[in-house]
Structure 1
Amino acid sequence: MSFNNISKMLTPDFLEIQRISFLRFLESGIIQEIKRRNPLQNSTKEYEIFFYPESYQLEIPEISAKDAIVQGKSYASRLFLPVQLINHRTGSVRFQWIILGTFPLMTKRGHFIINGCPRVIINQLIRSPGVYFLKRFDSQQKEIFYADFICERGAWLRIEMDSEERIWARLKRTPKIPVLILLQSFGISLEKIFSSSTDPEILANSLLPYRKKKSKLKKSKPKVLVKKRNIQNPLMLIKRHPFSQQSALKLLAALIQLRTQKEIVLNAELGKKFLMKKFGNSRSYDLGVIGRIRLNQKLGGNIPLSYRQLTGDDISHAVNYLMLVATGVYSVDDIDHLQNRRVRTSAELLQTQLGVGLLRLEKMFRDRSTFLFQTFHENHAISKDIRSLMSTKPVNGAFKEFFGSSPLSQFLDQTNPLAELTHKRRLSSLGPGGVSRETAGMAVRGIHPSHYGRICPIETPEGQNAGLVNSLTVYSTIDKNGFIQTPFYSLSEGQIQHEKNLTYLSSQDELLKTIVPGDIYFNSLGFVEDEKLPSRKNQEFAREKRSKLDYIAVSPLQMISVATSLIPFLEHDDANRALMGSNMQRQAVPTIKAERPRIGTGLESKVVVDVGHVVQARWSGYVSSVTSNKIIIESFVHKTDYFYSTPSITISESESSTKTFSTSFLSKLEKSPNVFKKINYHLENYQPSNQSTCFVQKPIIKEGDWIEAGDIIADGSSSQAGELALGHNILVAYMPWQGFNFEDAILISERLVREDLYTSIHIEKYEVEIRETKFGLEKITSKIPEVGKKELKNLDSHGIVNIGTWIKGGDILVGKVTPIRKKPLSAHERLLYDIVGKVNPTVRDSSLRVPKGTQARILDLQITYSEEKNPMKVKILVAQRRRIQVGDKMAGRHGNKGIISKILPVQDMPYLPNGTPMDIVLNPLGVPSRMNVGQVYECLLGLAGRYLNENYRVIPFDELFGSQTSRSLTYSKLYESRLKTGEDWLFNPNCPGKVKLFDGRTGECFDQPITVGEAYILKLVHLVDDKIHARSTGPYSFVTQQPLRGRSKHGGQRLGEMEVWAVEGFGASYILQELLTVKSDDVKGRHKIMYSILTGKHMSMGTPECFKVLVKELQSLCLDVGVYAIDHFGKRQLRDSLDL
């Protein structure tokens, strides 16, 4: 039974979420946000500007997305908007189009290009607007029930019932307000409040004045009832509960003045303004459509969806519901359930930022209009140009802030196609309006039953962000309200209804449905054969009769993310190791020779196609030309089609190639609605990614081929034959080897280095720009002071390195000089300069040089010239080839990672009975304790596939086909390979999967059979060239006088407590003393030790600064601590610690 029989639906476009979201922003988000600020009025309200957002227009971008990256600009479009300026004093009206701002555009691949850098907007997972009923425990461990009103914009409101069953309303920076006073202030009478109450007795406890209970005399006065600035709390003075709305508003006004005013004024109008400002103004408080829907659903209200402010009825219903929760009729809400969490997509985040820009524009309009409209009035005419009142700076600035500083706008991870795809499908609970990683508890981070089919339980970062940053599953989508949905097939009497459309359910929709997972076996007619099946209903798991089942998941892959679904035999791996495998696939470096995995899961081609790293034919046609830069396909194109030529695809008229077709065919073609066009597909070669990996597109077709629309015609740097290729299939042996693979170290064969299997190309960018200094303008030149001709040999006449030059560390890339102050010379210095012919320098060398340890070739130059044809800015692309070496990190897909410890000659590697040497030797102890047995299945099935010349696509959770399916498949294929090849060692019934290996050094057989197979191994981006670092002397921090930290600053390595223990264990006392003194912050000691080294005298250590700080801190605690010296007479003398 094949995977296609399990799920007849195709997996959705993985980047559809980003594109649909941005389309929603263009179609409705912009219009909604502008309408919200419509119209703009000046302070006197004599003039107003009215927008017509439905008629806005976006112009075609000035440059393409590809050119924006090359030129370091943003891929954006200006938004034109019709506006109307109305003078209410004279009745004059003026209509004009204005530019509102420059809006960043999303590329076809789902990211933005800002200042030449691809960036992505992360989807944010936040609490959904609405009302939530929860409980907490006070200091005496008593339950306190409360309700939170959460809105899209505005202040949160909390309704809380204390331990004495009194109900309060809480707001930020406001004292507690009795809930009855708040309800009466909204205009609801006491009679109506009590008549509609579910428990009038509890509500009566909130009547003023509060009744004192003998057993709780100490607590009869609430915490809020305290004196503030010698003002008597108004609640303490009340002898009778207010009955009218005016009295309640006065009391409300008095309460809100407690913390801000020196004198309380009982003013009902003040209370009314407070309510309008907090809950009644659409600009300051907005529940949102979702918030209003959820309030109506939860509280049983029928308030129109168009009214999105909080009403007295909402609060009244919430108080009644809260009392039922407190009495146990209803349960508290689960805030971690996905029905209570929604996704803020890029559309919503951009819309919010547009609102920020429009708010600033409104303020700017009011400030400008004060002066400008006075001038208009004097001239008795409205300005000829409304644009003088408007500016693009507020909106442009808001977008610039968001993309530059928001934690939800991130530098796109382009290490490989999977990294890019995963980054665009990421969900983050962090950021503005989200949770904080410091305060987030286990409940927020944990896996919830409602995550099934929506959020992957496996893929999440390790460390502080664990559980706070997640990935969407393979089939999940996001609806227009931001709730995550997943598809199901409906079940009728145990039969799967494949013919019916898929049903997409949110976590709230599926609460009362009985659902079974996708790894259930069913026959060819779609009937589930088992009578009772494991099912899920209302977050509970049980076995249910098949006749009572409602839905079945569409695939076993439904519950996991894209990266996790690429791990074969996933069900045999521990979840922690599967997590590492998912994350490390995103860190794989593209190699020069890409190779697809022999054992895959079937989604490899989908990943590279959706992410856009491969080139697909848009129309069917005949391949007329193939080069490394361009593919030309002559295609039939509909005459009425409108084509917009992009840098990757251009269209031209076909000429000679039509002769290859017969006359009869061409005569039919003339009558058809199609025309014959020559389609040029431009390929990208050696383009740098954000992570400095190399992006290349390679043709996989040849001239004369016929191509259908949608066929892949060119591979990317991480794909082979249209499938994702992150590593290589190599022979693996699980055995110890002379201790070189101890503790996850890896032993590899020299073949991997010699044949460039793991060689990768890395492209670095170097930029230099001349600046104006106070002594003059810098200059790019080949005339550099005190630099020999040998160092200048690679530079042209302008002082810029030539393309194709091989460079090493310290070589000059761009010669540059900076003007300096002329040094004043004394008489004897001038004489000396004249004798030796030396000139007093007026410039210093500030050339751009190659970093130490780098060996590379100049790939490309981008030079910006001034009007005088002098180079002003130079951008250099340097390509570096990195072979695999000791210290590099390698990993499999099952979380089995390690560092290369030794590269062994091929002849010394263990070899198979047929003489084939191993490529890599792993430690067998890395399997049992880590419980990632999937790697063993993969390597054994890979060995069979190697000798049968077969590739396999194995879906996870294959137990639906029968018990021990993975083992049966692996052993049967090994046995088949033995029969077909005649190699008996491939399958030994006594120890299946194990082989007698021979030592390459001695030729002798090892004592025990060894597990041998072919595994897919990746080279990760953690390369030793970027990590290894040494420092003898270097820069020190100006304040602490301690060595700087980090490789980029040429810093030192701090030794922690455990490292010092190791040094102590060896008794290295001098090293320990140096760690605290001359290697750290003993400034005087540095000079002394240099003198001692030069003169050969004994080295004496000084006193570290940390000791002096310790003495001063003890003295600050009033402890008489001092440093004393014994003089010649045996007396103690106090020494100043600063002089030590």
Structure 2
Amino acid sequence: SPYRKVVNGVVTNEIEYLTAYEEEKYVIAQANAEIDEKGRFLTDRVLARAYGDIRLVEPNEVHYMDVSPKQVVSPSASLIPFLEHDDANRALMGSNMQRQAVPLIRTEYPLVGTGMEVVIAKDSGSVIVAKRGGEVVKVDGNTIVIKVNEDEINPHDPLDIGMDIYKLNKFKGSNQATCMNQRPLVRKGDIVEKGATIADGTSTYKGELALGKNVLVAFMPWRGYNFEDAIVISERLVKDDVFTSIHIEEFEVEARETKLGPEEITRNIPGINERQLANLDEHGVVRVGAYVKPGDILVGKVTPKGETALTPEEKLLFAIFGEKASEVKDSSLRVPVGVEGVVVDVQIFAKKKKDKKEKREKYLDTLIKQEVDKLNLELEEKKKFILDKRDAQLREILIGVKVAKDVKVAGEVIIPEGEYISENNVSQAIKIIAINPSNFIKDKDLLKKVESIIEKAKSQIELWEKIYEKRKEAVQEGADLKPGVNELVKVYIAQKRKIQVGDKMAGRHGNKGVISVVLPVEDMPFMEDGTPVDIVLNPLGVPSRMNVGQILETHLGLAAKKLGEKLGKELEKIFDREKIIDKIVEYYSIVNDTDNKILTAQRKKDSQELREVLSKLDDESLRELVRDLTKIGIPVETAIFESASEEDIKKLLNHAGIKDNGKVKLIDGRTGEPFDLEVTVGYMYMLKLIHMVDDKIHARSTGPYSLITQQPLGGRAQFGGQRFGEMEVWALEAHGAAYTLREMLTVKSDDIEGRKRVYEAIIKGKHYYDIGVPESFKVLVRELKALGLNVECIVEGQPQACDTSEPEKKKPELN
């Protein structure tokens, strides 16, 4: 990490980098230690990390000083506002849970941030950053094209044509099945600098990290529904899609080569009625846009049955006609339990080979042709760009030049011999002159220049044509699949998930909880102006956990929101650009005056910088900024270890017209009576986490059993049962539930015969059934036999083996 060197108690601007091991050998002061303009410490004792320990030292003992207070924490911890007011355990949870936040459909910057949001969004690779500066020449939902500044083009790279193409990810599934989507932030004609954010990515808002939403929270118990960290939420969060996310699951199926012949992807599946095939196209693959539910067929596939090997005659018929003489079985890809949604994409990869089925071959050729057409379009775009650039360069040097021969277009002379090329006719003339410039230009130096420009453009086009030719060849060769796989089909299903009971939510301070109830808006507690709160959190979750940062965030969030509304109302009457900027800067200067001279100077400098930045914005961008400030609120930066003080928060609350203790009178939405005490209400940044109830809910009917133990499988993925363990057995024993216990340990577990009998009894409507011997008992007996103990069961006075499935038949007695 970087450190400022301290010489004889004076802090210098010299920077040295130390490793964690080297750091332990020195005394290092904190970055927020108070120093004067000359770098001398203002206090007699300085808090420092001395030889790996923390203690107060004299200024002349200090060797180094931190560059920034942020350098001691991780990037995710640096996103937690008021981190210094949170207990370390909760801060750890807060920083870990930010990684589990689900990207939402509509993002929103945090009202209370730490200033690291922009840096982290850029470095995370989620947003698209301009590699070089230039002018945006084309923008659509999928691509951004930038014409690069002349001084940034590499003249030694023949492939560098001065055009940067950025492809945007559109609704791709991530490894966590969340949705990755990028949206352009620039308009055609915008001038961008190198390093500027030109497209928003997953969980970002205008280039700023945006993991959650600012929602109005109240800290109060609500009829026991927020007991033990449970969360009460308003139906508004469901209706307005505040916490709605899109999830994209990927399913794939392979058609392999088997010993009995190849598997085939087809619509002709044995024993399946037409209704089940309604969503499939003629080739047996589901249509994009179809809504599918568990059990629906996604890709029809048949596998040759292995009953009989093919006779030579059948093999011959198969070789000639490609018809299956043998039977086939259905091995289609179906939608698994617990997944439903819309098919958003289908990808088909096939090896290039002569298929016996001509129709299938044509279909795969069509898919390849579509890919090739896309590449051709890209190439044409590049060629056009190179020629336009060539023409622009020629235009600059040819205007005012005398032509040595008539310039004709379609037989008509547009510039007679000896005349000059002018603005009006230069565009048409260039096209003709470029074919053979030496016919029209006699000036040797000029001719050399023109020829070099034309030659450069020609060689660039040839190079790009070669590159695209290779790409097209690769596409036409077909997919490179694993050995034995002829075809691979991938299907992507998207689900829109609204927030619901059982979903997990969290703030940034490790304050997590599970939603217990979704209340109608009219039942939520509301403020005196009629605003209903969005979330009711339990105040008992704060004191023992010691994450008070959430309370400070709530107060500051309320001030930021209300100031935004107030600013919006004031700006409605102002139409002069300068006055709008003055008003915004005025609002940001409310807390400029403090007791600390250095801090006051810094804040005033920040206000001045803000004014300069605002004055550079064009009218459209300024209007958009005002819209955001009014709708979302005025964003506040409160860096860690340099957070807003209590006085700052009180000043902002007073300015927004709220009591400085941040508490308001709330009214019960159900009874209309005010609550006895005032309640802390404000805006907190809440995240929806990836632990969603849809992925966890599970119930088993009859399902698969383990081959070895004959007990039901475990786990949701296997449609398994819940383990009935030792302690659960004690619970049933304590209640004397003997029959329930017997059932759990036999027919519901590993008693094979008993299972069948129970099933039969239920179907026939009987209430009694016999119970057999569980498999686990047989295993125990076999283990005892291995130890040399012969355990036998006495049945009707006769000893009998316990570890066989069938009771032994009595041997006939010999006379």
Q: What TM-score comes out, normalization by structure 2 length? A: 0.68
Change (3 A) 1:630 1:651: farther
Partner letter of residue 756 of structure 2? H
Give the structure 1 partner of residue 491 of structure 2: 876
1:973 aligns with 2:638: no
The answer on 1:958 being equivalent to 2:642 is yes
What code does the residue aligned with 2:10 have?
Q
Query: Aligned to 1:915, which of 530, 544, 552?
Result: 530
Aligned-residue offset at 1:715: 0.6
Deviation at 1:520, TM superposition (A): 1.7
- 1:1003-1042 pair list within 5 angstroms: 1003-1042=672-711
Alpha carbons of structure 1 residues 788 and 1119: separation in structure 2 relative to 1, 3 Å: closer
- 2:230 is matched with which residue? 745
Q: Give 1:1043's aligned residue.
A: 712
Whether 2:505 is the aligned partner of 1:890: answer yes
Deviation at residue 524 of structure 1 after TM alignment = 4.1
Q: Give the Cα separation in 2 of the matches to 1:737 and 1:723.
A: 35
Which residue of the partner structure matches residue 569 of structure 1?
82
Counterpart in 1 of 2:4?
489
Is 1:987 the counterpart of 2:652 in the alignment? no
Residues 1:763 and 2:763 aligned together: no
CA distances 1:74-131 after superposition (whole Å, capped 9, x unpaired): xxxxxxxxxxxxxxxxxxxxxxxxxxxxxxxxxxxxxxxxxxxxxxxxxxxxxxxxxx
Would the aligned equivalents of 1:807 and 1:858 in 2 still touch at CA under 8 Å? yes
CA distance in structure 2 between the partners assigned to 1:778 and 1:624 by the alignment: 49
Q: Is the 8 A contact 1:651 1:680 kept in 2?
A: no
Is 1:947 aligned to residue 562 of structure 2?
yes
Distance 1:905 1:840, change over 3 A: farther
- 2:198 paired residue number: 713
Alignment map for 1:172-211 (pairs within 5 Å): none
2:32 aligns with 519
Q: Which has the higher contact order (CA 8 A, sep 6+)?
A: 2
Which consecutive unaligned segments of at least 5 residues does structure 1 have?
1-485, 653-676, 825-838, 960-964, 979-985
Q: How does 1:318-329 map to 2 (within 5 A)?
A: none
Using the alignment, how far apart are the partners of 1:1120 and 1:767 within structure 2?
A: 52
Please tell me the residue identity of whatever aligns with 2:549: G
Q: Does 1:1137 align with 2:650?
A: no
Residues of 2 paired with 1:497 and 1:1035: CA distance? 71
Deviation, 1:1058, is 4.3
Cα distance in 1 between the residues matched to 2:659 and 2:551: 15
Partner of 2:140: 627
Q: CA deviation at 1:912?
A: 1.2
| Cα distance change on mapping 1:688 and 1:1041 into 2, 3 Å | same
Deviation at 1:1116, TM superposition (A): 6.2
Query: Structure 1 pair 644/1028, CA: closer, same or farther in 2 (3 Å)?
Result: farther
Q: Which residue of 2 aligns with 1:296?
A: none
Q: Between the two proteins, what is the percent identity of the paired residues?
A: 49
Looking at structure 1, the residues matched to 103 and 157 of structure 2 have their Cα atoms a distance apart, in angstroms, of 32
- AA paired with 1:617? A
1:753 aligned partner, one-letter code: V
How has the CA–CA distance of structure 1 residues 508 and 792 changed in structure 2, closer, same or farther, with 3 Å as cutoff? Answer: closer
SS in 2 for 1:571: helix
Q: Look up the match of 1:904.
A: 519
User: In structure 2, which of residues 111, 114, 117 is the aligned counterpart of residue 601 of structure 1?
Assistant: 114
Q: Distance in 1 between matches of 2:53 and 2:338?
A: 59
Aligned to 2:567: none
How much has 1:518 moved relative to structure 2? 2.4
Which amino acid counterpart does residue 1045 of structure 1 have in structure 2? G
* Aligned mates of 1:967, 1:639 — CA distance in 2: 49
Alpha-carbon offset, residue 1035 of structure 1: 0.7
One-letter identity of the residue aligned with 1:938:
E
Matched residue SS, 1:770: strand
Which residue in the other structure is 1:231 paired with? none
Counterpart AA for 1:908:
D
What amino acid is aligned across from residue 998 of structure 1 in structure 2?
Answer: I
2:594 aligned with 1:1079, yes or no? no
1:1021 Cα deviation after fit:
0.9
Residue 725 of structure 1, aligned match among 175, 191, 210:
210
Contact in 2 for aligned 1:823/1:840 (Cα 8 Å): no
What code does the residue aligned with 1:909 have?
Answer: M
Residues 1113/972 of structure 1: CA separation in 2 closer, same or farther (3 Å cut): farther
Q: Which structure 2 residues correspond to residues 254-265 of structure 1 after superposition, within 5 A?
A: none
Structure 1 residues 848, 729: closer, same or farther in 2, change over 3 A?
A: same
Matched-pair contact (CA < 8 Å) for 2:132–2:152:
no
Aligned position for 1:1106: 776
> Residues 640 and 555 of structure 1: is their aligned pair in 2 closer, same or farther, counting only changes over 3 Å?
closer
Sort the Cα spacing of 1:1105 and 1:591 in 2 relative to 1 into closer, same or farther, 3 A: same
Distance (Å, rounded) in 2 between the aligned partners of 1:1071 and 1:987:
60
Q: Any conservation in 1 of the 2:182–2:201 contact (CA below 8 Å)?
A: yes
In the TM superposition, residue 800 of structure 1 has moved relative to its aligned partner by: 1.1
Does the C-alpha gap of structure 1 residues 735 and 1056 become closer, same or farther in structure 2, counting only changes over 3 Å?
farther
- Structure 2: runs of 5+ lacking an equivalent: 310-323, 365-486, 565-633, 808-815
CA RMSD, 1 decimal:
2.6
Could you give the per-residue CA deviations for residues 48-96 of structure 1, whole angstroms, max 9, x where no partner exists?
Answer: xxxxxxxxxxxxxxxxxxxxxxxxxxxxxxxxxxxxxxxxxxxxxxxxx
1:773 and 2:282 aligned: no
Q: Secondary structure at the match of 1:522?
A: coil
CA contact (8 A) 1:858 1:879 kept: yes
CA displacement 1:906-934 (0-9 Å, x = unmatched)? 11111111111111111222112222111
**Alignment partners' CA distance in 2, 1:1072 and 1:818:** 44
Please name the residue that 1:192 is paired with.
none
Cα offsets for 1:873-894 (capped at 9, x unmatched): 2122222221111211111111
Q: What is the number of residues matched between the two proteins?
A: 591
Q: Does 1:936 align with 2:551?
A: yes
Q: Deviations over 1:622-656 (max 9, x none)?
A: 334322112233342227615979xxxx976xxxx
Distance apart, 1:997 and its partner CA: 1.2
- 1: CA distance, partners of 2:264 / 2:490: 15
Any residues of structure 2 matched to 1:267-666 within 5 Å, and which? 486-498=1-13, 500=14, 502-638=15-151, 641=154
Q: 1:700 to 1:1094 in 2, by over 3 A?
A: same
Q: Within 2, Cα distance between the matches of 1:901 and 1:1070? A: 34
2:150 aligned counterpart, secondary structure: strand
TM-score scaled by length of structure 1: 0.49
Q: Cα deviation per residue 1:1024-1083 (whole Å; 9 max; x = unaligned)?
A: 111111101111111111111111111111133444455556654433222211111111
Q: Distance in 2 between matches of 1:751 and 1:643?
A: 59
